Structure 1
Amino acid sequence: MYSNGKNTAHSGEGRLVGNIVTFVIFFVAFCGSLYALSFWTFENAWIPTLACFALVLIAFAVPMHLLRRSESANEIVEAASEFQK
């Protein structure tokens, strides 16, 4: 990506700590979902299953849908094509 005629890199923007904290939070939620399945029995199947489903939803859906890039691919392509004109 170019800005003012110079190539701009997106690495090293100072988001390492935030990325690590986010990863740890959602990884713990995923591990908690696996741990919830250890309480699953034929007499008590609903509560661990629903807990597992809720934690997996938190661990996968939240990062994929809420923490995504703010720009869509179409906006990036349009911005690049306008720059080349």
Structure 2
Amino acid sequence: MSHEPTTAKQPSHAGEGHLVENVVVFVVIFGAFLLGIYLLNWLTLETVWPMAAIVVISFLAFFIPQGILGRSDTGYNLAEGKQTDEKSTSAAVGS
């Protein structure tokens, strides 16, 4: 028997090794945030389009990082400590 310690690969942190992608996503989402603030200049009780644009931009600013770029479909497995690239349809529910 060997008494050498086994070296298990440590799980990588979220976004580790994806600097360019992280910077691009940050710039796009931050730009959407600044655009939303800028649209507040035209927001009055008579005009509806600035608020509609702000709602759409806000939805995209949350949906893109969390639902498309994130790992929302593997969150259940990661919470249990399972390292997997396999994507399930939903948390703990199989069809």
> What is aligned with 1:83?
none
CA drift at 1:35: 1.0
Local SS of the residue matching 1:62: helix
Write out the 4+ residue segments of structure 1 that deviate beyond 3 Å after TM superposition.
Answer: none
21 and 75 in structure 1: CA distance in 2 versus 1, 3 angstrom threshold:
closer
CA gap 1:75/1:14 in 2 versus in 1, 3 angstroms: closer
More strand by share: 1
Paired residues in the alignment total 76
Aligned to 1:14: 17
Q: TM-score, normalised by structure 2?
A: 0.63
Of all paired residues, the percent bearing the same amino acid is 32
TM-score (norm 1): 0.69
Does the C-alpha gap of structure 1 residues 35 and 7 become closer, same or farther in structure 2, counting only changes over 3 Å?
same
Unmatched tracts of structure 2, length 5 or more: 1-5, 84-95
Task: For 1:54, give the aligned amino acid.
Answer: V
Query: What runs of 5+ residues in structure 1 fail to find an aligned partner?
Result: 81-85
Correspondence for 2:32: 29
